[in-house]
Amino acid sequence: MTHSFALHVPDLDLDPEPLEAGRILSGTPEVSGKVIWESEDGRRIRGVWQITPGVVTDTEADELFVVLSGSATIEVEGGTAFTVGPGDMAVLRAGDRTTWTVHETLRKVYAITTPVEDS
């Protein structure tokens, strides 16, 4: 999309994004999402992401997100842990290794920025 737009996110149909088995620590979480907008150079991505209850690990991108529904506790390796729920905004740093304990199916809207690659 190259124009301004608005989108009703709570009912948006998402596409399955299977998790690698090694990332699942507990439960049977399922992930789905949809990229809504991406810059021409692929460095800026805006989208919607959802995960069902369970415990998973991840290595984060430079991301800002706002939770629409559900809740999770996010533990940052060597850092802090915080719980997020509807209306909460969070910022994750690129390279952070995290463990997500998803209490209720969580849906978020995110903005990711990837670094410029050296050529």
Task: Give the CA angle between residues 54, 33, 71 to the nearest 5°.
Answer: 40
Instruction: Give me the domains of the chain, ranges plus CATH numbers.
Output: 46-119 (2.60.120.10)
- The predicted-structure confidence for 39-88, as pLDDT tens digits, reads as follows 999 999 999 999 999 999 999 999 999 999 999 999 999 989 999 999 99
Please tell me the distance from the alpha carbon of residue 63 to that of residue 92, in angstroms, as a whole number.
Answer: 5
**pLDDT band, residue 24 (cuts 50/70/90):** very high
**pLDDT band, residue 27 (cuts 50/70/90):** very high
Both tokens of 52, joined, read: 């069902």
**What's the whole-model pTM score?**
0.92
Is the Cβ–Cβ distance between 48 and 29 less than 8 Å? no
